[in-house]
Structure 1
Amino acid sequence: MPIGSTSMSLPGLSGYDFSGIIDKMVQAYKLPENQLFDKQGRLQTKKTAWMDVNTSLLALDTAATALRSASTWTATQTVSSNTSILSVFGGTNSVQGTYSITVSSLAQAEAIATSVSTDTDIASVLDSVSTKMAAAGHSYTAAGDWDFTITNNGVAHNISVKSSSTTGGAPTLEDIRDSINNANAGVSATLALVDSVNKTYRLVLTNNTPGAANTLKFSDPNGLLQTGLGLQLTASTDGVPSVTYSPTNLISNDPSSPNYAGGITQQATDASLTVNGVPMTSTANTITSAISGATITLSTTGTASVTVAQDISVTKKAIQDFVDKYNSLQKLIKDNLSYDADNKQAGPLFGDSLLMGIQAKLRDVVGGNTIVNPTGPYKILYDVGIKTSDRDGTLTFDTAKFDKAMSDHPESVVNMFGAPYSGGTTPTDDLTDTMLVPNLHQGLGNYLHAYLNPLVKFQGTIDQHKTSLDTQIKDLKSQIQDFEDRASDYEERLKIKFASLESLLMNFNSQGTWLSNQLNAMTAKK
């Protein structure tokens, strides 16, 4: 029980500061407990330091793993010579080379327009639509009398047309447009103002999917499409009517033209192109099959060249990231192992044999002359531009030397870092440091991963070390609590003893006062 929490207090009527004396005695008694607090603090500092080291080692392992990944070395850059004709996007598996592409035609979606209307209200255009429809045998008095069906890509979609008029009557072009768009038939319906002076409109239906095979077909049981909207439907081989296309029946906005009625405004076509002279067709203008691993988007007709080349900047960035992570880790290790002789201040992990071993191992593998590529001609990191400073052991990356090495012997450079290029190997995650042999761990990425993974993985070396520190901290916490309990008991005993002494002294003072009074009285009688 802490000081000041006991139930007994000393009034100090004897004139002595026994409370102060007890406080001093308890503080002296608890000096060993302070040492336990200090030890607990040092262990917690070590635990935090190891957590920081583990995080930095994980970052280095991640950077090393990137170096042994094929994608780091196979990244490509794709360039189009004329982006107004086509654009191109390449992935890591794009086949390098130069490709001449000629675009003859683009993929188009079929578009169909109705006859010209001088108003969006069908009735005002068709000279009393009800009378005309009735003459065609349609009364349009029951629900569904305005409905029709659009078949798109083999799927039939019923278009339920409702008139927005509160008094009934024929639907407007807006009603038909909205009904088509709400049916999710893969068709977009819009109203086109073809003559702003005379306020003439056409309802335009456009298939959302391009390609020659994607033509729209219609079932028109109520005659709305043909009689009401002027579409000329012709039965195809499967019996489902469609709007027939030919270059001579493209619609015209000239009332005197025989093609003034509704019809096809844009034919459904496939894209046509050649890649290095090889003809190809596509139902879409985005093509993934022309160049392996690349996506080409066509914009217009014409000829452009596409160059797919290795993107060495991705590789350099990965190497620089590794260098930065290594330097950051070495600085962290150095700070933790440091000792300031002037101030007699040690780092959190000063003298730690495990950390000193990690520091020495990394310096030997990365900063030394360890052969990480036994197949040559490049065997050590210095050969490909990674240099070690003699002053502090930090790394620098000489990109010019790296570029020359890649130009002269790319296979050897890739194998140097452990990527699977002509013989590079990749270890499994459960390898241990005892298995680090050149023939098995070719390449820096493989070599380091096999060493670092047992250190940083769950229940690995550092995790076990941290668990040991946790156990010690928990044990010290228990010892401190026990000491607190003993100190409280000691304080209680002291208070009881000094309370008795306080009472005894108070009695002595009372007796002394009585004797003094008696002597004074006897003297007065004489």
Structure 2
Amino acid sequence: MSFTNLGIGSGLPLNTLVEGFLNAERIPTELRLDSKEESLQIELSGVGSFKSALSDFQSTVDRLAADNAFNQQTISTSNDNISVTTNGFASNGEFDVNVQQLATGTQLKSTAFASSTTTLGSGTLTFAAGSNSFNVSIDAADDLSAIRDKINAESDNFGVTANIINADAGTFLILNSTETGSANSLSVTSSDASLAGISTNNSVTRAAQDAIINIDGNTVTNGSNEFKNFIEDVTITANSVTTGDNSTITIGQDTDSGRELIDEFVSSFNSLQDQLTGLGAPRLGRLAFDPNIRQVKQQINDVLLDTVASSGIGSLQNLGIELNDDGKLEVSRFSSDTIQTGEQRLSNALANDLEEVGKLFASDDGVAKRISAIVDNYVDSDGVLTQRQTSLNEQISDVGDERIAFNERLADYEARLIAQFTALDSAVAGFNSTRDFVSNALRTTTSSDS
């Protein structure tokens, strides 16, 4: 404080008086601002938790909203001669596959040269395989190594790799093409005869050929080792020629992953309910009686109870999943002579109507798609909760500005008090000096009369 010397002249407790006036002005305002900021911070924290809980739930919901969420299949092969994938819609079954031939690209070998520093001439090399082609310009100063580097660096190169091999018979430029299949044989021509040794005079050390496999006794030929949709909705990649037993492909529907998704959905929804109930608790909730909590609960529950017209299953209840008395999802335990338990309904649907289960969640009017859209309205960049966060942060900032303004006013008030009480101190000190003078004078007069 800047008024510690007040009252020295007068002997009055002016420091205490000024401090009392300042506290009377400061304390109520600070308590009000502290209370307001604390309330805003609690609400902001609650809104952040609210938004985070919805986003976590949406992450689970979005996995069920994916078009292929329930189109997962189990695929196995009896050996490594082939690899297999499906798009999720392949028919279940077993297939016998024999790999008779792998697809290969062309390998060409140049004539022999003295060394990799040999120069040949100048001109243009043209490389072609099927519908692909590219050109490389060769200068007279380019040796075999430089020619190799130019081929490999050419931006239009469709997959030709040049290498140099130094063998007993001489140095050779080796060209390998990644373009497989008999229709993609690699050829090299040149615009100048000086380049014939690495173009038209090349020898074929490996010819381009098709891949050939046999599927359940049916021969299939393809320009690459990837056989797509020769079994409908299945892609087979030939890895090696069959030398022993044929490869057996086994395809089945993956009901386990579907059940895991649904169990995760139920668990995630129930976790959201617990979090929202805690946030909105009347006494201890950071968002007690919050209308947004009541609103989002009602909106999501409406979707859970609604009918999905695009799915043959129709509703979560028909799938065996219901809201219990506590507002939580569970696999129904109720059954009767005509109604199966929820567990039976769910298991049957996953085993026999997996596509309809997918539609129940992932179609445009499906449970997951609609819930995700509801959550977006709250958590998106322009969502209700995002806007609340922005507003609360602005209000907290306003409280800070109000504190600064108040401290400035308090400093002015303090300066006025100090000036006033300094004047009082000086005046009282003057009165005290006059009093002391008069008293001394009277004492002196009395002593003289005696």
Class of the TM-score when normalised by the shorter of the 2 chains: 0.7 to 0.9
Question: Which residue matches 1:189?
Answer: 162
For the aligned residues, what is the CA RMSD? 4.2
Alignment check: 8 A CA contact 2:57 2:268 kept: yes
Alpha-carbon shift at residue 268 of structure 1 (Å): 1.5
- For 1:198-277, list aligned pairs within 5 A: 202-213=172-183, 214-219=185-190, 221-223=192-194, 225-226=196-197, 233=201, 263-277=203-217
d(CA) in 2 for partners of 1:122 and 1:501? 106
Q: Deviation string for 1:149-176 (max 9, x for gaps)?
A: 3432363524526567xxxxxx5x5565
d(CA) in 1 for partners of 2:191 and 2:40? 85
- For 1:325-344, list aligned pairs within 5 A: 325-338=268-281
Question: Which residue matches 1:105?
Answer: 101
Alpha-carbon shift at residue 505 of structure 1 (Å): 1.8
Amino acid at match of 1:491: E
Q: Deviation string for 1:392-423 (max 9, x for gaps)?
A: 766567997644441255456445x4333xxx
User: Residues 203 and 488 (structure 1 numbering): CA distance in 2 closer, same or farther, change over 3 Å?
Assistant: closer
- For 1:360-399, list aligned pairs within 5 A: 370=305, 372=307, 379-380=315-316, 383-384=319-320
Q: Which residue of 413, 416, 420 maps to 1:497?
A: 420
Alignment check: 8 A CA contact 2:127 2:135 kept: yes
- Secondary structure of 1:74 counterpart: coil
TM-score for the superposition, normalised by structure 1: 0.66
Amino acid at match of 1:348: R
Gaps of 5+ in 1: 124-139, 165-170, 234-242, 244-262, 341-345, 421-425, 428-442
Question: Which residue matches 2:115?
Answer: 120
d(CA) in 1 for partners of 2:88 and 2:351? 20
Amino acid at match of 1:160: I
User: Residues 30 and 296 (structure 1 numbering): CA distance in 2 closer, same or farther, change over 3 Å?
Assistant: same
Question: Which residue matches 1:506?
Answer: 429
- Secondary structure of 2:351 counterpart: helix
Question: Which residue matches 1:88?
Answer: 84
Alpha-carbon shift at residue 220 of structure 1 (Å): 6.8
Amino acid at match of 1:300: S
Alpha-carbon shift at residue 339 of structure 1 (Å): 5.9
Amino acid at match of 1:157: N
Gaps of 5+ in 2: 333-341
1:518 has 2:441 as partner: yes
Alignment check: 8 A CA contact 1:159 1:180 kept: no
- Secondary structure of 1:36 counterpart: helix
- Secondary structure of 1:82 counterpart: coil
Q: Deviation string for 1:401-446 (max 9, x for gaps)?
A: 644441255456445x4333xxxxx24xxxxxxxxxxxxxxx4324
Q: Which residue of 125, 145, 159 maps to 1:149?
A: 125
Alignment check: 8 A CA contact 1:151 1:217 kept: yes
Question: Which residue matches 1:48?
Answer: 45
Alignment check: 8 A CA contact 2:70 2:354 kept: no
User: Residues 281 and 386 (structure 1 numbering): CA distance in 2 closer, same or farther, change over 3 Å?
Assistant: farther
1:160 has 2:130 as partner: no
Question: Which residue matches 1:135?
Answer: none
Alignment check: 8 A CA contact 1:105 1:301 kept: yes
Alignment check: 8 A CA contact 2:10 2:429 kept: yes
Alpha-carbon shift at residue 35 of structure 1 (Å): 1.4
User: Residues 218 and 44 (structure 1 numbering): CA distance in 2 closer, same or farther, change over 3 Å?
Assistant: same
- Secondary structure of 1:27 counterpart: helix
Amino acid at match of 1:318: L
Alpha-carbon shift at residue 359 of structure 1 (Å): 4.4
Q: Which residue of 361, 364, 367 maps to 1:418?
A: 361
Alpha-carbon shift at residue 320 of structure 1 (Å): 4.2
Question: Which residue matches 1:406?
Answer: 350
d(CA) in 2 for partners of 1:193 and 1:60? 64
Alignment check: 8 A CA contact 2:160 2:178 kept: yes
d(CA) in 2 for partners of 1:412 and 1:174? 62
d(CA) in 2 for partners of 1:36 and 1:122? 85
Question: Which residue matches 1:167?
Answer: none
d(CA) in 2 for partners of 1:505 and 1:286? 107
Q: Deviation string for 1:452-504 (max 9, x for gaps)?
A: 44444454444555566467556656665665555445434433432232122
User: Residues 522 and 95 (structure 1 numbering): CA distance in 2 closer, same or farther, change over 3 Å?
Assistant: farther
Question: Which residue matches 2:338?
Answer: none
Question: Which residue matches 1:129?
Answer: none
Alignment check: 8 A CA contact 2:84 2:237 kept: yes
Question: Which residue matches 1:306?
Answer: 249
Richer in helix (by share): 2
Comparing 199-208 with 54-63, greater Cα deviation is found at 199-208
Alignment check: 8 A CA contact 2:67 2:358 kept: no
- Secondary structure of 1:445 counterpart: helix
Alignment check: 8 A CA contact 2:190 2:200 kept: no
Alignment check: 8 A CA contact 1:372 1:447 kept: no
d(CA) in 2 for partners of 1:516 and 1:203? 127
Alignment check: 8 A CA contact 2:259 2:350 kept: no
Amino acid at match of 2:52: T
d(CA) in 2 for partners of 1:471 and 1:511? 60
User: Residues 201 and 385 (structure 1 numbering): CA distance in 2 closer, same or farther, change over 3 Å?
Assistant: farther
Amino acid at match of 2:21: M
- Secondary structure of 1:521 counterpart: helix
Q: Which residue of 11, 15, 31 maps to 1:15?
A: 11
Q: Deviation string for 1:355-396 (max 9, x for gaps)?
A: 245446656866xxx3555887674459546786x7x76656
User: Residues 295 and 14 (structure 1 numbering): CA distance in 2 closer, same or farther, change over 3 Å?
Assistant: farther
Amino acid at match of 1:13: G
User: Residues 387 and 112 (structure 1 numbering): CA distance in 2 closer, same or farther, change over 3 Å?
Assistant: same
1:63 has 2:63 as partner: no
TM-score for the superposition, normalised by structure 2: 0.76
Alignment check: 8 A CA contact 1:152 1:216 kept: yes
Amino acid at match of 1:337: G
Q: Which residue of 258, 269, 287 maps to 1:315?
A: 258
Alpha-carbon shift at residue 42 of structure 1 (Å): 0.2
Alpha-carbon shift at residue 46 of structure 1 (Å): 0.7
